[in-house]
Structure 1
Amino acid sequence: MNRVPEARTIAEAYAFLELTLPAGESWLDHDRYTTLHSEDEHYVLRFDGPYEGRRISREVRIPHVTHRAAEEAGQRFGPGRSTLVDAGQWYALEAAYAGMAQAGLDQADGGIDEQTYRAVVDAWAAAAAAAGEVAKFLPAEGDEVPSGAFWTEHGRRVRSLRRDAFRRDRLADVRRFYERRADELRSAESRGALRSAESRGVEAGADRTTATGSVARVPAPRTPPEAERLPSADSGADEPLPARTYAEAHVYMDLHPCDCGSGLFDRSRMRVLADDEDGAVLRYAGPCEGCGAPREFTFRLPPRPGLPPGSPYLFSFPDDGPSRLLDPGDWAAVSVGYAWLPDAVADGALQPDEAALLDDDELLRLLTGAAGALDEVLKFFPPGVEALPADACWTPTGREFHRHDPDWFRRDRVTRLREQRYERLAEFPTRYGR
């Protein structure tokens, strides 16, 4: 008999259900088919409804005692560490709540009504609480959430792409930022300052408060000319996605996982749909290994070999311009994600038996990708420009990466990191016995 999962609070139970219910093409009506009722010692949150041609039933129990304790302490998700939602999933929730809050503000261009105001304030508070849940996994001594805090495939994947998100300093800073945004909005509401955007003269380029609390001139968002016609996930459009190499196509698929969180599907089923003077059109399709949902991506490669000179693991040719698929923030995240495993080997952070299991070719691929991704960041720097502004990033991952660490986008820093990465790539086989 399967054990019913137990959450600390009703809020955590809802979060757990949303993370674990399967993904598909249809809209999942959580509100209509989710019920909450009380038993002697527990609440029971249950989803029981139709989805994708079948009926799905899930339930989570919440002890009255832990829910009451959390309410009394003002803890949204509960006391202590979560045993249901891992650190990577909490970060995904944090980013989602923050995105919802910002989207609510962005869409309220005619002024914030009462319902939107409350939803935005609650989303900022939820983002702060989710960041707090990530921080609970920090060790007493140490600046980073350890690998044992990531026990789901979803969480481990998030960590591999955004390891920097689990550092103590980021978590402290971002919680203050989210809390300040909520407090500022509450303060504005109490002063009756939530007037229409038109009456305040707010438009693209108006002054806004930045994450550091200072007032900065924010330019209108810059979208690359091609971006409007590039799907952000599985490609069902007639126009193939413009990839420069096989490696860039694969990293794009890596950065666009299924709704269930898994990015894995059988890519060996790739088909060449066309190969002519305009290049090759490639189709990757197969069921998601996490939930079985169909995945499909179609790319067009230029009329040349798909593997760049020097290494098949580089993402572009030397004379290529910047990527049209991924922005500089995406590439910064790729570099960080690719680097952490070989860095763990080099720094002795893995047990000898764990390191011995790693494949040399895989480590070479990761090291090359970590260095090559920094080449891709540098391709976005126009001549004479020493720092990329936030509007150079147009994807959610890229914007979020830039917001949390804008110093990552200084030319001197990227150049220095690139040199260090290529040095480690060159020395790795001999220095570490691989």
Structure 2
Amino acid sequence: MTEPATKKKRVARVVLSPGQHSIDRATPVPIDGGFRLQWRIMLHDGRTLHMKTQAPTRADVRARARSKANELLQTSGTSSWSLRSPVAEYMAAITKPAIESERLAEATRARYWLSYRLLLGECGSDEKGHRHRHALKGLSIEAAMRPRALKECLEEIGRLHGAKNVKHAKLVASKYLARPLKLDGLLQYNPLADLDLDLSRSRKPPVQRGGHALTREEYHKAIEWLLTQDPKAVEKPKRGRWTLDDRIVERRSLLEFVLTQAATGMRTSEIGKRPVSEVEVDDNGNVVFALSGEATKTRKARRVPVLDDRVARLLVERIEGLPEGAYLFGAPTDPMKEWLPRNRDRKLAGVYEELAEACGIEMFRVERGHSWRTTINSILADVVPEDQRIRLLGHTREINRSHYTDAREVEALKAAASQALTSS
């Protein structure tokens, strides 16, 4: 009777501590052309990696494995982050500075900041029922970078803020979050690279603006109304930290902001971010905005004159009353700080509602800052060469023709174009 074969006894696996590897205990296995070594290493953050190394000889394979182990330990040692770290803390420490330091157009940077906040569920909306239930905030890096979590977060952004914001949020998450995580050794691949999203339930965009012009009569009527408003005609706050003087400053800023839009055709974001140092005034009282490439949507520098002398005089007075280093239209209570776009734009919308009511221009209930760009482009069409209008407004030739020339007012605008924009 033959004896039963005994099972080969498995060697007990040694428990590793952070910074240790199993290279010296592992046995190289012969393969075609050399040897292969399978080994483990525990990084400083507690993660264990299973590695394979090949080389021509036993000595070479161990030496090559040790070199790789040292490289892994040095790389992991430069980062204090682990998969258990809160992703919001990682984004504040890594993602945010990366966006700040990269050379971006101001409009692009603003979009990326919004995307950053949306990923964390910090949009600031007070709309009823508006809640980010799948935001990354509150999750660990490991949980946040799971494809399912990213998919739910981005699709929710689409439902609450529209598909366009999903595109920007996905870019920010990929470039400024997933890529650094790979560099820190916390991700093996970018989970956003081939992530499929269902955007069929995304929020529909608001009514498209930017293609309708005022008639010449409407243009002058709106300008006159804005110029004749008294900033002091505001009610004293009944409660809150704002004083009556604060309200007056805010009202003046809003009126002069809209007048600046009307007299230059500049974008809201371009005006809102301008420091006084980028506004030039010559000996004749002419006011010119000197926009750098980084300050414009098209990334092309341009100089924009204020076309109405009355508005230019108001801006000169404004500049003279501001401290050095201030924004032209900074926060009402502190001109050294940027006026938060969400607060500013909500207040500007109120002024346009007033314009619509007072001047009987219903278009202002939908069309706002872009209507001035369209109007200036259209009224000047026959008296200013297209290349010059493109330099003034900052468009490409195709966009200039397709978005900023209103066919509905062609006859009226042609009649108006024979005179200067601000003539009586």
Q: TM-score, normalised by structure 1?
A: 0.25
Larger Rg belongs to: 2
